[in-house]
Chain A
Amino acid sequence: MSKATVVVVTSGKGGVGKTTSTAAIASALAKEGFKVCAIDFDVGLRNLDLIMGAERRVVFDLVNVVRGEASIKQALVRDKKLNNLYLLPASQTRDKDALTDEGVASVINELRMYFDWIVCDSPAGIERGATLAMRYADEAIIVSNPEVSSVRDCDRIIGLLDAKTVVAEEGGRMPKHLMITRFDPERAKNGDMLSVDDVVEILSVPLIGVIPESKDVLKASNVGLPVTLSDEESPASKAYVEAVQRLLGEDLPVTIPTEKKGLFGKLFKGRAA
């Protein structure tokens, strides 16, 4: 069989940065030279196509493929910049009930033959869409903001990863990675946000990366480019690239963003005010 790895990017809570992270991780993997497919499981509320700048080239979608109305090759959208990065978009006009377990299984099995990495963007929640997105995964990236409700939802999702996935049902243990997004060092220091240590302690899952809160991310989303492609120098982009290296098995220490702006930033702020 193939050596493809299926990774689900999940969180339970909405708005934490699953889709942004999926796009950034998928394109960073593609830049490493792997054949990568990102799948949007958020049927009815699709966004990954926008973030990846593919929205004007979507013809068929995941639901068409699951229902046998189109072939996978017809539905895959190739990235504008990287020719080894593909997107399987979600349907915007259907809802999550249009997905079936067998259909998703056959789509993922077929994709395993063509790609090295398959990155599944899970919808928020713990219902059908989210459970199907994680069901056939080999590994999971759990995205959390440093904030209590997001952490608790992640905890719930981790429980599901250990119960409702094929890996778990076969008695295996799904490798899980924790990615903390929208981390603001200043607010964490003031106690407005949970610290990285707190989140890691509560979830007891190994940390794969801490992505700083950054304007570059929003800017990148709006121009339809994953941050790892649009602005390689931004701290968020660097953090994603490092996380991907850890995902590939490299043993890098996780850099926790600190208030680097330091003197310059503060002086500048002071003057502007």
Chain B
Amino acid sequence: MGPETLIDAIRTKLGPAVEGVADSCGDPVLILRSDSVRASMAALREAPFDYAVLLDLTCVDFAAPEGRLELVYHLFSLSRNVRLRLKASLPAADPAVETLVGLWKNAEWLEREVFDMFGVRFEGHPYLRRILTYEGFEGHPLRKTYPWRLAQPRIPLKDGE
């Protein structure tokens, strides 16, 4: 399957879950409906697409210009040696999406990072807790509303756990 037919096959398989297709510097990008992320990913993971690796997950804050956050997933198929980028938009006010925990094992940490940095809630995540910052950190640092040089309040010393 060439890149064109592959994207067509995915669109046929996923049906209305795909809102659009884009091209970015030669790489294919699929825009997904945010309420069908998990089902779409589960389908893409299986044959014939065989995207066995969740390569990366991150988020981009478009809250100020467009009132949304954009989740960016990168999948990789080892057998076909192709990558695929998928995006899903969430409302900036209360961003929430289904978790991918259960499909890929690294989803647990990747989603914790996006939660920590952007405040996206992953529904069904077993342990949604800050990962790079600490318990008691205020705000979500990669949101555009978070100032670059904001001092965090001191957290109290722990007395012998």
Asked if A and B bind, the verdict is no
Interface of B toward A, CB cutoff 8 Å: none
Interface of A toward B, CB cutoff 8 Å: none
